[in-house]
């Protein structure tokens, strides 16, 4: 990435409201990358990420669009997980991801790169 490209990317990141997931088709590297299509949701289309491993960043590859995001109030998932106070991202395909404070969620479009 050239310097002007990097500067444009940093300016775009700086313009995003605090607490919203980073959405960039050329996402910055994350400690862990998953495809949204590979995740299994509960009966209500909800997925919960507990950050027991202490990751700082997680990339989710998807072509689905974000329709809502924020922080939950009092909520318990269909599987009985209390996600009150968790951040969430809801997609146009009906899935909702819940994740804990301290995890930087990066949303990237398209399929994940093939493993080397």
| Dihedral angle of Cα 40, 43, 44, 46, to the nearest 10 degrees | -20
Q: Is residue 77 part of a domain?
A: yes
* 16-50 pLDDT per residue, tens: 544 555 555 444 567 788 899 999 999 999 999 98
What is the count of structural domains for the chain? 1
Residue 60, in any domain of the structure: yes
The tens digit of pLDDT for each residue in 50-99 reads 888 878 888 899 999 999 999 999 999 999 999 999 999 999 999 999 99
Phi and psi at 104, nearest 5°, equal -85, 115
pTM over 0.75: no
14 within a domain of the structure (yes/no): no
pLDDT of residue 20: 53
Residue 8: inside a domain, yes or no? no
The whole-number average pLDDT for the span 1-24 is 54
Q: How far apart are CA 101 and CA 57, in angstroms?
A: 11
């Amino acid at each position: 990435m050239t310097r002007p490209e990097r500067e444009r990317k940093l300016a775009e990141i700086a313009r995003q409201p605090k607490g919203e997931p980073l959405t960039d088709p050329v996402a910055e590297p994350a400690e862990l990358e998953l495809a949204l299509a590979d995740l299994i949701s509960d009966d209500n289309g909800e997925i919960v990420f507990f950050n027991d491993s202490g990751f700082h960043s997680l990339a989710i590859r998807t072509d689905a669009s974000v329709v809502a995001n924020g922080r939950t109030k009092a909520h318990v998932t269909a599987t009985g997980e209390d996600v009150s106070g968790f951040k969430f991202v809801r997609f146009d395909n009906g899935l909702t991801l819940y994740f804990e404070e301290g995890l930087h969620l990066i949303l990237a479009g398209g399929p994940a790169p093939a493993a080397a």
